[in-house]
Amino acid sequence: MTKRVCVIPGDDASPEAVLPALAVVKGLELDIDWLVLPTGEEGQAQHGEDWAQVCRDAIDSCDTTWFGSASGKTPAIAHLRWGKGTYANIRPVKYMPGAKSPLSHPEGIDFVIVRENMEDMYSGIEGDLEALQGLGLVNRQTKQSIPASGKFAIKVITEANTRRIVEYGCELAMRRKAAGYPGRLTVSSKYNVLPGTDGYFRSLAQEVAAGYPDIEYENFIADDFARRIVAEPHRLDVVVLPNLYGDIFSDEASALVGGLGVAASGCYGDDYAYFESVHGTAPDIAGQHVINPTATMLSAAMMLRHLEFEEGAAALEKAIEDVYREGKALTPDQGGSAHSEDFCDAVRGKL
Ligand code: ATP
């Protein structure tokens, strides 16, 4: 059955990765009907106040969305994430020989970050401390009342979302174990300083993981884990993190295997999934056509797999790996001098 894919090129440098990558994926000639939206700026100019609704309608009319990155001009991200309930942000961290790593032995790094995608510090509840006066809140360390002036942000950890994301991680670890990976689940949070929220996340995670006796479970305090990502990445398999740590640690982890230019991701819910690179819109290099399209293309490979085009996904991944191994058409972030389009042409050549 024909699949329908919404392509949202995004803002700043993002379309310079998405559009040539789209041409490569179209070249696979899969049974896909593409609905390609304009860039953020073009969409605002063409649709004015209706632009957000145009994006939402396009997303709703498709089986999945391939999303560039947005800096405000493209309004779709809230609908894709909270509107569609895409609670599991899956971010593979896998080294491809030829990619630029600061490690002397990056070969064999191959783990997956499972980031909770709905809550934590992303609930957007912030305000003036003044509004909290009179609630009897005190500083846990000093027992003094909170200052009268300043700001606060609320961290939200719910039982349902925590259980769901840890279960997702456990199921993924089981599937990977069946394919020869160690079957290890690593969970991290700042549970010592935030026992009420991060400690809650930790104890729920432990409880859920106990239901998977074939999976080895381990837990680290977030600052210790930040060091372990760099010091012992080879032993990681599946890593489950609350939203904010997941965001920060996946940028850190990407640095081990080539940086943001190669970091792909997919966001999965019960009824919908969308795919986007880990990086933002790279505004500092917009217009130069040097943004690395690898992350965008590897996200497309995840999308093709989700749509059950397994052969197309594997062919695309192999072609990208071949271009890296050859090392002739890499973008500046990987130490090369190729433009985004040159890299895409090289991938098309391998296909
Ligand atoms: P966001 O908060 O939206 O994730 P960010 O602040 O992390 O965005 P990015 O847009 O991801 O910022 O860019 C961070 C740095 O990495 C910038 O210098 C940018 O040029 C670079 N960068 C990001 N993506 C790529 C890419 N695909 N190719 C080359 N450089 C990139």
Task: Please state the pTM of the whole predicted model.
Answer: 0.96
- 248: confidence class by pLDDT, cuts 50, 70, 90: very high
- As a whole number of angstroms, the distance between CA 330 and CA 148 comes to 54
pLDDT for position 251: 97
pLDDT tens digits, one per residue of 116-139: 999 999 989 999 999 999 898 998
pLDDT at 148 over 90: no
For the chain, what is the mean pLDDT?
A: 97
- Could you report the per-residue pLDDT of 14-66, keeping only the tens digit for each? 999 999 999 999 999 999 999 999 999 999 999 999 999 999 999 999 999 99
**DSSP state at residue 274:** E
Rounded Cα–Cα distance for residues 117 and 44 (Å): 27
For the cut 90, the answer to whether the pLDDT of residue 333 exceeds it is yes
Tell me how far the alpha carbon of residue 168 lies from the centroid of ligand 1, in angstroms: 28
Which residue's C-alpha comes closest to atom 20 of ligand 1? 282
299 Cβ closer than 6 Å to some ligand 1 atom: no
CB 280 less than 6 A from any atom of ligand 1: yes
User: Would the pLDDT of 141 be above 90?
Assistant: no
Selection from 159, 97, 152 nearest residue 125 by Cα: 152
Over 90: is that where the pLDDT of 140 sits? no
| Atom 12, ligand 1: residue with shortest CA distance | 280
- Spatial separation of the C-alpha atoms in residues 298 and 287, rounded to whole Å: 22
pLDDT tens per residue across span 168-205: 999 999 999 999 999 999 999 999 999 999 999 999 99
Nearest to 96 by CA among 304, 289, 264, 275: 264
